[in-house]
């Protein structure tokens, strides 16, 4: 067993959450050795039925974020089955839930009640907008959270905003929820008390917007779409199309990388144009024409061994087979037809272990 798989050994997590943010957080806790019990409604959560069906008879999306967990189905509107949840919580360390604010209270198991009954329990609520927001009862999805926070305004082409993939707010909320849970467990060792953590998906992307917020403070506006160094405005940080239809990525942000690229390209005249005013549409067009005259093989021959931050844009089926992926053992195939992306950390030279399949107890 790798050492990271023992970090949360003996930690019991009860997960009431659905879809991606909560299940992803508890999935990563599985990788660290936690015992995770997933509680679903009697009919199963919606994610079972969204996406292509896999070998387990459920959506592969559901299987992917619930591997290594034990499942139980409970009707929390039923008094007896609600009592079963409280029994599960009697020796639990963490509860994760993703209901809208006020739903737990309506079920008779509100935050105040849980805090009183289980003072050592760390409760993590992952919801859309947060209990203190005027939007607390509104619905939303990742696209909505990115739209309202200025993220989409800086993402895409000049003509059109583009939603990033994977869902950024969902994943950010999951990771902020996980990191806060771990911090709360550490603090509990000192105080003896649990706490209630709330992470709203609509809030989770703003800490990722530090550069945009810095521009806002300085210039009174964020970073315009396709006009900045890192979002499509610079010639040295974008993708290009080759003569044979492949895409390549150039990330020569620093002067030394840009200079190395220009020398390898045989265009030393481009070196002085590194800081042309943004957006660098003229210089970009020259690079578009340059790459359009080269095949992927010719690009790799010319730039593959040059320190200029150059590589091919890979499809996912290609990406999981690269020497890097094979060597790191962090994306694995424990069973035919199944890929797992494990917690991306080595501890004492070893990666986490692959997860067992999701297992239902009833």
Q: How far apart are CA 153 and CA 323, in angstroms?
A: 36
Q: How far apart are CA 360 and CA 245, in angstroms?
A: 47
Q: How far apart are CA 37 and CA 206, in angstroms?
A: 31
Q: Is residue 269 flagged as an active site residue?
A: no
Dihedrals phi, psi of 172, to nearest 5 degrees: -65, -45
Contacts of 163 (CB under 8 A, 6+ apart): 142, 143, 146, 152, 155
Cβ 199 vs Cβ 124: under 8 Å: yes
| CA separation, residue 362 to residues 32, 42, 73, 74 (Å) | 25, 10, 7, 10
CB atoms within 10 A of CB 129: 22
Query: Is the bond preceding residue 279 a cis peptide, omega within 30 degrees?
Result: yes
Q: Pick the catalytic residue: 15, 93, 170, 203? A: 170
Q: Where are the beta strands (DSSP E) in 113-189?
A: 122-127
Q: Which of 8, 38, 5, 11 is nearest to 120 (CA)?
A: 11
Q: How far apart are CA 268 and CA 105, in angstroms?
A: 67
Instruction: Name the residues annotated as catalytic.
Output: 170
């Amino acid at each position: 067993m790798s050492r990271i798989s023992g970090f949360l050994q003996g930690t019991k997590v009860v997960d009431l959450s659905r879809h991606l943010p909560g299940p992803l957080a508890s999935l990563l806790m599985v990788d660290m050795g936690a015992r995770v019990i997933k509680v679903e409604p009697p009919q199963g959560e919606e994610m079972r039925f969204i996406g292509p069906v896999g070998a387990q008879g459920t959506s592969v999306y559901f299987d992917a974020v619930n591997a290594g967990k034990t499942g139980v189905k409970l009707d929390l509107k039923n008094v007896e089955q609600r009592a079963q949840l409280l029994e599960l919580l009697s020796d639990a360390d963490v509860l994760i839930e993703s209901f809208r604010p006020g739903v737990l209270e309506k079920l008779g198991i509100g935050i105040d009640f849980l805090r009183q009954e289980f003072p050592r329990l760390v409760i993590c609520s992952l919801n859309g907008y947060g209990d203190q927001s005027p939007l607390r009862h509104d619905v939303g999805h990742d696209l909505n959270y990115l739209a309202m926070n200025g993220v989409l305004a800086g993402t895409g082409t000049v003509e059109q905003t583009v939603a990033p993939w994977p869902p950024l707010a969902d994943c950010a909320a999951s990771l902020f929820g996980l990191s806060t849970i771990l911090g709360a467990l550490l603090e509990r060792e000192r105080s003896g008390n649990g706490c209630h953590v709330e992470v709203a998906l609509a809030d989770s992307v703003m800490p990722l917007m530090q550069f945009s917020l810095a521009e806002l403070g300085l210039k009174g506006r964020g970073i315009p779409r396709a006009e900045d160094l890192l979002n499509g405005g610079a010639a040295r940080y974008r993708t290009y199309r080759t003569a044979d239809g492949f895409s390549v990525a150039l990330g020569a942000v620093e002067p030394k990388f840009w200079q190395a690229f220009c020398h390898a390209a045989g265009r030393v005249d481009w070196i002085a144009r590194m800081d042309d005013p943004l957006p660098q549409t003229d210089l970009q067009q020259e690079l578009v024409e340059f790459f359009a005259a080269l095949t992927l093989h010719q690009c790799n021959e010319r730039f593959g061994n040059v320190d200029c931050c150059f590589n091919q844009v890979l499809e996912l089926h290609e990406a999981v087979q690269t020497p890097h992926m094979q060597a790191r053992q962090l994306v694995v195939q424990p069973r035919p037809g199944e890929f797992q992306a494990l917690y991306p950390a080595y501890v004492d030279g070893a990666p986490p272990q692959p997860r067992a399949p999701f297992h239902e107890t009833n």
